[in-house]
Amino acid sequence: MLRAGLALGLLALSGCNVVAVGGAVGVLSAGAAVAYDCPSYVSVSLRDDLTGQELCGEEVVARDRQGGRERSLTTCATQRLPEGRWELRAERGGEASVLELAPVRGCERFVHSVELTLPAPGHFAPGS
């Protein structure tokens, strides 16, 4: 009789554990769904206005005009860019080029392809 009671007790305990573990997994899954990051992507090309050459590996700074966030991007690479109103700025040798992206909305699932041109030294660049 004692064995039967002990067996039922263990069965009941393991049932509670299954429910507790299942509940914890359900809560964690719901939290992951809420925190799911669904970015768009951006591919930045940078050209030298004097030579027309594409400049790869250059840094482009992306600033979110609404949220105040800042990201460092690299030219000739596709990178994640979260939701926001982003301004891209490239600088080299004292010259700069600035471009504002159309608002990036979460889960758009496409790549914003943009091209910036660095002006030749001494020339005015629109938007800088």
Residues 66 and 20 in one domain: no
Residues 97 and 46 in one domain: yes
Query: Are the CB atoms for 87 and 67 separated by under 8 Å?
Result: no
Percent of the chain with pLDDT strictly greater than 70 = 66
In this predicted model, what pLDDT tens digit does every residue of 78-123 receive, in sequence order? 999 988 999 999 998 888 999 999 888 878 778 889 999 998 776 5
Residue 103 lies in a domain: yes
Residues 89 and 59 in one domain: yes
Alpha carbons 33 and 88: distance in angstroms, whole number? 30
Residues 28 and 52 in one domain: no
Residues 19 and 51 in one domain: no
Residue 93 lies in a domain: yes
Residues 31 and 58 in one domain: no
What CATH code is carried by the domain that includes residue 65? 2.60.40.1120
In this predicted model, what pLDDT tens digit does every residue of 20-77 receive, in sequence order? 444 444 444 444 444 456 888 999 999 999 999 999 999 999 999 988 899 999 999 9
The total domain count for the chain is 2
Residues 67 and 85 in one domain: yes
Residues 19 and 44 in one domain: no
Query: Are the CB atoms for 116 and 90 separated by under 8 Å?
Result: yes
| All residues at 6 or more sequence positions from 82 whose CB lies less than 8 Å from its CB, including other chains | 37, 39, 40, 69, 104, 106
Residue 15 lies in a domain: yes
Query: In which domain, by residue range, is 2 found?
Result: 1-36
Sign of the torsion formed by the C-alpha atoms of 18, 21, 27 and 32? negative
Q: Which of 47, 46, 53 is nearest to 88 (CA)?
A: 46
pTM: 0.64
